[in-house]
Structure 1
């Protein structure tokens, strides 16, 4: 269904991405109804990310959709590192390379808290007093039912130490970035207007970033309009 790494092939009018190239997804190779997303039936979806939170709430990656039949040319995969920082190149060298194979698995929400005004670390789910117990049951059985892989398309977001919904965290950062003029609007602050496009458990492969997880989130209306350029990328990292 795609591959980690490989040559970076982009249309001539697409600017060099500002973040490292992670993977390409062949949408035509995804099994029918394998995700909960209204993805295009064909074409390539390219994922880019830097697996670290910059602390300012800016997007840490991007998504490029290339429709089937679009002319592409190979680009420099290192163009994002314009300052040639050695430690970043060493990190990029750890990115996985190789084929991606699709497996359909169960995906369930398993966050224990929700972000609420005045509670920066989240509070209990309103109306769900046993949410922590349910999450504990799922976490104790998940490995036998739906073992996690390095890359997930759609479903519910996951990360090493999940507490609040990673999609909600991404939405909060997108809203703040838009308010600060660092992200183009309109941006909804209603989490239900957003979906998880993809998760990458970067820490499985990238040494020094062992707990890092990248989340690409997108507004439903942007997904329907195939405005993948408006996907926002957030990162969980507990160094």
Structure 2
């Protein structure tokens, strides 16, 4: 683990112990830490992708339904930067729209495939439209620099229907999530330290709060209904990527997918959520 991430874990541990959380519970929760990639338009890390670059697709690929948010060069990512079975090369294209009724999709272009440039603005998303132009202005184009990050469960358990997903473990884990949120907010190069035009993107990890729930769980259970014998079987859904789009009040796009579909490159099976908090 990099010194930066060791320092973050140490800060979480120290604050949790200061609050009287039992040491055994603290260490159990810290054992849930997962590697993740934080991509920002500022920083001195290697360039691994770009925000709103040209849309390059094979000739036989369908036109995307939504604007391109980010293109990730998989070959530029270190192999262990996440614990996801990401492609070793090629480009991962993340499409979406950071609005209340937004949606999105994922496309993958293998290395060596001949591509052609497509229209950057799909029908209905013209920059000549005043509202669309405002969104584009808040998502500036630019390279994405990598920070090797670390992730812990971010959301708290919320009382509600039987299908409400708890955090792993017992009640102390809710308190640990509160500690994590506070520490993460003070990390100088973390996902919430951005100012101006840095448009952070997360790959892997647990992701951040999606209206109080784990985004991967919500992606697996879009209807929110419990199964016949209790909570539904949500499979092995994971957060593929998360984008904080700079919209006034906050708008976040989550791309989630089952690990098996990711391994088999079935990106059409991904689910996309947009959490808009005006």
In the superposition, the TM-score normalised over structure 2's length comes to: 0.70
Q: Distance in 2 between matches of 1:105 and 1:82?
A: 33
2:152 to 108, 115, 118: 108
Contact 2:153/2:167 (CA < 8 Å) preserved in 1? Answer: no
Deviation at 1:145, TM superposition (A): 7.9
Match of residue 183, structure 2, among 123, 141, 149: 141
116, 121, 127: which is aligned to 1:73? 116
Q: Trace 1:186-205 onto structure 2 (pairs within 5 A).
A: 189-203=232-246
Paired residue for 1:226? 265
Which residue pairs with 1:182 in the alignment? Answer: none
Query: What secondary structure is seen at the aligned counterpart in 1 of 2:151?
Result: coil
Q: Name the SS for the 1:38 alignment partner.
A: coil
Q: 1:29 aligns with which of 55, 59, 76?
A: 76
The answer (yes or no) to whether the contact 1:20–1:92 under 8 Å persists in 2 is no
Q: Which of 203, 213, 219 is residue 170 of structure 1 equivalent to?
A: 219
Q: What number of residue pairs does the alignment pair up?
A: 216
Deviations 1:49-83 (CA, angstroms, capped at 9, x unpaired): 111232xxxx8101110000111111111124268
Aligned to 1:64: 107
**1:87 matched to 2:126:** no
1:237 equivalent in structure 2: 276
Structure 1: segments with no counterpart, 5+ residues: 177-188
Q: Which of these residues, 57, 65, 71, is aligned with residue 18 of structure 1?
A: 65
Unaligned runs of 5+ in 2: 1-47, 193-199, 226-231
Q: Structure 1 residues 73 and 174, CA, compared in 2 at 3 Å: closer, same or farther?
A: farther
Measure the CA separation in 2 of the matches of 1:133 and 1:145: 23
Contact map agreement 1:198 1:217 (CA 8 A) in 2: yes
Alpha-carbon shift at residue 17 of structure 1 (Å)? 1.0
Q: Partner residue of 2:207?
A: 157
- Per-residue deviation, 1:174: 7.0
Residues 215 and 234, structure 1, Cα contact 8 Å, conserved in 2: yes
Check conservation: 2:84, 2:259, Cα contact below 8 A.
Answer: no
Larger Rg: 2
Q: Is the 8 A contact 1:2 1:23 kept in 2?
A: yes
Distance 2:97 2:168 in 1: 34
Distance in 1 of aligned mates of 2:187 and 2:149: 11
Partner SS state of residue 135, structure 1:
helix
Residue deviations 1:13-43, cap 9 Å, x none? 1111111110100000001200111111100
